[in-house]
Amino acid sequence: MTMTLAFDVYGTLVDPMGMSRLLAEDAGNKAETVAALWREKQLEFSFRKGLMKVYEDFGVCTRQALRYAMAAHKLTLSEERENVLMAAYLSLPAFDDALPALKSLRGEYPVFAFSNGGYPALEKVLGHNDLLDQFEGLVSVDDIKSFKPDPAVYAYARRATGSWEKPLCLVSSNAWDVIGARAAGLLAVWVKRDPDKVFEDWGIEPSAVISSLSELPEILKGL
């Protein structure tokens, strides 16, 4: 039975920390810490909105998180500059291993992008990096107005990818996403991009762990 693959996008295929280079203009030597807090709050805000049932597009969470990260470091942005940074978020750089890995899997498995991001943002960031054409389709939480790791989101991914009767495997660098997928009954491969990253001890383990997407074709043979 052919396994279907669902790739997380932000942090797995494209690098949110790529914004630190642009933030240097606004935050100087604090650019990396601002970028890291921006990403942290982007996720936190989406989690909270999902729990509160007050869904807003992931781009709204991203903008609110940018404002928080700047304010937390006592920095300010003009409206024009904020819009420039938000537009740049649609052109985040892909990790070097993303395109080669997707090309190696094409034709071997049904492959989808599965993200908290909305469709216009996904089309732009994946298209910018020549990744869009590698997927059979995109799956966005915007369809059901919630966010990962809501179990309903993973159930929706099964429906959207036609994987009710066959295995669906999430590929994600986000440990919380892997845990959410496993709790919902999916297979899940954790891409441990940071060797110092700790996987939360919840008694829920990834189906496999890799350090690069280049390892994925081989590891999938054992799932």
Secondary structure in 3-state letters for the chain:
CCCEEEECCECCCECHHHHHHHHHHHHHHHHHHHHHHHHHHHHHHHHHHHHHCCCCCHHHHHHHHHHHHHHHCCCCCCHHHHHHHHHHHHHCCECCCHHHHHHHHECCECEEEEECCCHHHHHHHHHHCCCHHHCCEEEEHHHCCCCCCCHHHHHHHHHHHCCCCCCEEEEECCHHHHHHHHHCCCEEEEECCCCCCCCCCCCCCCCEEECCHHHHHHHHCCC
State yes or no: is 8 an active-site residue: yes
Q: Which of the residues 8, 15, 26, 177 is marked catalytic?
A: 8
**Where in the sequence numbering do the catalytic residues fall?**
8
